[in-house]
Amino acid sequence: MAGRLQGKVAIVTGAGSRDDGVGNGRAIAVLFAREGARVLLVDRRLSAAEVTARMVAEDGGEAESFEADVTREDHCRAMVSRAVGRWGRLDILVNNVGIGIRRRIPDIALEEWELQMRVNVTSMVLASKHAIPAMIHGGGGAILNISSIASLRGRGLAPYAASKGAVEALTRAMAADHGRDGIRVNAIAPGPAYTPMVAAGMPDSVREARRKSTALGLEGTAWDIAAAAVYLCSDEARWVTGVVLPVDGGVLVN
């Protein structure tokens, strides 16, 4: 089913990854381009976005790297302006930037809490604030927010879990607010996929335990997240909005 995003213009934030690995943002960007989208690859590290751009080019797709810190409103405004300026429209925004701070509430510093919320939640607000008017001008679009199953099972990640709970509440509220504007807003809640963000320093025993925690007994990767992203941002999901889709191999039911 090639061309599921043909003719669409997408912004993917956090589109780089560590070294040559493939994280969620990079995988989403590559699959979007394979499906015909033109993709603005946004990352705080331009060099990381450029690796993704080379992967897209090798597949024959079209993308441009763009350096931005999405916790800054002026950068979010600029990335939307660049996408519209180059390709004439904006159809898709993937809010993929996030960090995880492993703390219990009594142990977290206020500065750490505020950083967790600014990166994981405020960045999505700022990016969406500037993307939504561009989508309305073009007749609608799709916003996809990357959450986490940690919103339902924090387990030592209280600040991170709280931020992802906020992402999911934001997703539902935006879906309600902008449905009549032709904008669908959904979220993916990844489970313990093996990506560069978690791989660094992870012992093989922990990796195996993560695999066994799934009902399917399979290890997930960023490509699994990206496949779900293609569906939710394509016209196949034209009647789907306000949904939080776990992509977790069945961890939540195991």
* Structural domains of the chain sorted by starting position, each given as residue range(s) with its CATH number in brackets: 9-244 (3.40.50.720)
Per-residue model confidence (pLDDT) at position 1: 46
> Exposed, middle or buried: residue 106 (CB in 10 Å: 0-12, 13-18, 19+)?
exposed
Catalytic machinery residues: 160
Residue in 95, 21, 26, 19 with CA at minimum distance from that of residue 63: 26
DSSP-derived 3-state class of residue 84: helix
Q: Which residues contact 173 (CB under 8 A, 6 or more apart)?
A: none
Q: How confident is the model at residue 153 (pLDDT cuts 50, 70, 90)?
A: confident
Residue in 51, 38, 55 with CA at minimum distance from that of residue 91: 38
When pLDDT is averaged across residues 71-94 and rounded to a whole number, the result is 98
When pLDDT is averaged across residues 217-237 and rounded to a whole number, the result is 97
Residue type, 113: W
Tokens of 119: 């990166």
DSSP-derived 3-state class of residue 146: strand
When pLDDT is averaged across residues 86-110 and rounded to a whole number, the result is 95
Q: How confident is the model at residue 199 (pLDDT cuts 50, 70, 90)?
A: confident
**Is it the case that residue 30 has pLDDT exceeding 90?**
yes
Q: How confident is the model at residue 81 (pLDDT cuts 50, 70, 90)?
A: very high
Which tops the pLDDT comparison, 102 or 162?
A: 162
